[in-house]
Amino acid sequence: MTWFDAKIVAVDQVATDIKSFRLVPADPQAGLASWKPGAHLDVRAENGIVRQYSLCGDPADPASYRIAILHEAAGRGGSEYFHSHVVPGSTVAISEPRNLFPLVEGRSNYLLIAGGIGITPILPMIRELDAAGRAWHLHYGGRALDRMAFTDELAAYDDRVDLHTGLLDLPRILSEQPKGTAVYCCGPTALMDAVLETAAAVGLDDVHIERFAPVEAAEDSDGTALDSFDVELRQTGVTLHIEKGQTILDAVIEVLPDHPYSCESGTCGNCVSTVLEGTPVHRDCVLSDDERKNKMMICVGGSASKRLVLDL
């Protein structure tokens, strides 16, 4: 992955425990890559922590990016670092925007569902859909109004936005949608799982979700993961032994230090590797069933066979 230096030029408290950060190129002569709603950045702080954050500013703004971060007391340390140490003037490294959650074009209706910090990728979608004159509606849920970000910006859309401080009535909301509705959801895992399940129950099949947290407890795909196994890197001509508690990625970067990775939680897609032989155990939330036939995320994946062969 190619990294670019960016400077934080503004930090705003946009809700309880949520701050937004505005970034510009550290080199004033450098430009910023364009992006579309649903895109995210990999952000590497000065202490080396790398996290993925959705872009929640205006795609038409060529001069700056905006991200927003929820302070998660029980998180893995990324949000704590950004909330406590990143201030105007701080420098971070950023990737080019990547979009794993793009808006599909041409649907007759768009239903947007956000929970908490999950509003971030949805906000630019609203701008684009509204500017294009599309039919859309947002249901935004949170524990309390003061914990929901950007409600001031959402107020401009009047009755096309419903704010919920309790549970969303998903069966009602989803069953009211006309055929052909595209559903977009970002938020807590439980909300996204409930949207997927309820949408399927009412016959909506155009559902798009974005996960930035690892699938709960990184469940094995078939429950047969071995504690230790060998991994042959076919192109490199090296065989690695993976011990209990070690990831394949840990071992791979010992011999291939440039192998890309970022989140180390099976959510960013950077460490994807092609499997030539063996039976991988999948624990990511990036790959489709089809992709799992010959690919794996080696930061979280394991093996059900004593030997895996990777095309590395």
Q: Does 280 bind ligand FES (CB under 6 A)?
A: no
Q: Are 136 and 110 in contact (CB under 8 A)?
A: yes
Nearest to 268 by CA among 16, 54, 58: 54
Interacting residue with ligand FES among 208, 251, 284, 312 (CB under 6 A) = 284
What's the CA gap between 47 and 59, in Å, rounded? 28
What's the CA gap between 198 and 101, in Å, rounded? 20
Nearer to ligand FES, 148 or 268 (CB): 268
Q: Does 268 bind ligand FES (CB under 6 A)?
A: yes
The pairing of strands 307-310 and 229-233 is parallel
Nearer to ligand FES, 79 or 177 (CB): 79
Interacting residue with ligand FES among 263, 281, 287, 312 (CB under 6 A) = 263
CB atoms within 10 A of CB 150: 20
Least distance in angstroms from the C-beta of 296 to ligand FES: 9
The tokens for 81 are 């670092």
Least distance in angstroms from the C-beta of 47 to ligand FES: 18
Q: Does 266 bind ligand FES (CB under 6 A)?
A: yes
Least distance in angstroms from the C-beta of 225 to ligand FES: 16
Least distance in angstroms from the C-beta of 15 to ligand FES: 27
Q: Does 67 bind ligand FES (CB under 6 A)?
A: no
Q: Does 183 bind ligand FES (CB under 6 A)?
A: no
Q: Does 198 bind ligand FES (CB under 6 A)?
A: no
Burial letters 274-303, b for 16+ CB under 10 A, else e = ebeebbbbbbbbbbeeeebeebbbbbbbbb
Q: Does 261 bind ligand FES (CB under 6 A)?
A: yes
What's the CA gap between 59 and 99, in Å, rounded? 13
Interacting residue with ligand FES among 177, 221, 262, 279 (CB under 6 A) = 262
Least distance in angstroms from the C-beta of 280 to ligand FES: 13
Specify the 3-state DSSP secondary structure of 292. Answer: helix
- Using CB under 6 A, which of the segments 57-65, 134-142, 265-273, 302-310 binds ligand FES? 265-273
What's the CA gap between 296 and 186, in Å, rounded? 24
Q: Are 86 and 11 in contact (CB under 8 A)?
A: yes
Nearest to 197 by CA among 215, 185, 211: 185
Q: What is the dihedral of CA 132, 137, 140, 145, to 10 degrees?
A: 90
Q: How many residues bind ligand FES (CB under 6 A)?
A: 14
Site string for ligand FES, 292-311 (x = CB under 6 A): -----x-x------------
Least distance in angstroms from the C-beta of 297 to ligand FES: 4
Q: What are phi and psi of 166, to 5 degrees?
A: -120, -165
Least distance in angstroms from the C-beta of 107 to ligand FES: 29
Nearer to ligand FES, 143 or 293 (CB): 293
Q: Does 269 bind ligand FES (CB under 6 A)?
A: yes
Q: Is 144 left (phi over 0), alpha (psi -120 to 50) or beta?
A: beta
What's the CA gap between 299 and 288, in Å, rounded? 17
Least distance in angstroms from the C-beta of 141 to ligand FES: 27
Binding site for ligand FES (CB under 6 A): 261-264, 266-271, 284, 286, 297, 299
